[in-house]
Amino acid sequence: MLCLKARAKINWTLDILGTRPDGYHLMDMLMQSVALHDTLWLDHSGVLSLEPKDEGANSFNESGDHLSSATVTFDQNNLVFKAANKLLDYTGVKKGARMILRKQIPSGAGMGGGSADAAAALVGLNRLWNLGLAENELQKIGLTVGADVPFMIGGGLARVSGIGEVITPLPRANTIWLLLIQPCDGLSTKEIFTGFDAMPQNQIIRPDNAAAQAALAQNDLDALGQAMSNVLEPTSLQYRDEMKLAIDKLKEAGAIRAMMTGSGSVVYGVFSSYQHAQSAQEYMRYDYPACKMTETVHSGVVFDES
């Protein structure tokens, strides 16, 4: 049986440059993999099946704190199933697999949980079925499942543009400690993008992607904090006041910068060290029992060989 870690992501920056004729938004983002992950087990079977991992299923962390996972289903609508079927269609093979998924990445969070799971399915089934597909082929298939899937396959730190298919890997940056909070229910990505489209252009606070990229390379967290921005954040905050309160609380706890990732609803604080993040977690736990520490990592989907 194969075991894979499907790692979540955060956005250091998120900008929208326009829309294509088909309605897809053109993005310009700095994205980074983090240690928080779902786990996918794969084994040979005559048919495709997907089931939850009983112990710890849908838990945000091992202490039992929970974030939103109510939208996760284990039927044909799950992105793991969709990715597996797209892989079968692409290769023309007739294969099956027993797939077991343990969720820890919260849903409706802007952390790419479903996309990470789909990426793990593509990487894992490629090995299980001895297909021999290259990473760029898996990314091509992944794009038909979701815009974040191509990045989630390789992960690490990257500049991502287009609708998610143009990925420029960046050199490894130093590990950065983060504190994650999901202060409210998940948000509708479609609803948030529609709200952004209606926003006057002069109200949009855009990130400085070049400056953020340079700050990460130089491990200058103060400069990174100044360059970071997410153009979707004002729209999301209109729908969820709780997110604004959580961002303010993270700043009170000593975060160098606090911001929403993706289209929400997780917000995160950037801290200068593990000790500072840990102290902030203790400070935040009274108001946000499910706050979670994590760290940046250098890859997306990885096989767990232990």
Catalytic residue among 9, 103, 249, 292: 9
CB 45 within 8 A of CB 96: yes
- Whether 148 sits among the annotated catalytic residues: the reply is yes
Q: Is the peptide bond before 306 cis (omega within 30 degrees of 0)?
A: no
Amino acid making up residue 238: Q
In one-letter notation, the amino acid at residue 211 is A
Give the span between the Cα atoms of 129 and 61, in whole angstroms: 32
Of 28, 148, 249, 292, the active-site residue reads 148
Q: Is 95 a catalytic residue?
A: no
DSSP collapsed to 3 states, 23-49: CCEEEEEEEEEEEEEEEEEEEEECCEE
Indicate the DSSP class of residue 2: E
Cβ(158)–Cβ(171) below 8 Å: no
Give the span between the Cα atoms of 214 and 218, in whole angstroms. 6
CA distance 51 to 41: 10
Binning the chain into helix, strand and coil, the percentages to the nearest 5 are: 35, 25, 40
φ/ψ of 106, rounded to 5, equals -65, 155
Q: Which amino acid is at 278?
A: Q
How many residues comprise the chain? 306
Cα 90 to chain centroid distance, Å, stands at 25
CA atoms within 13 A on the CB side of 294: 26
Catalytically active residues are: 9, 148
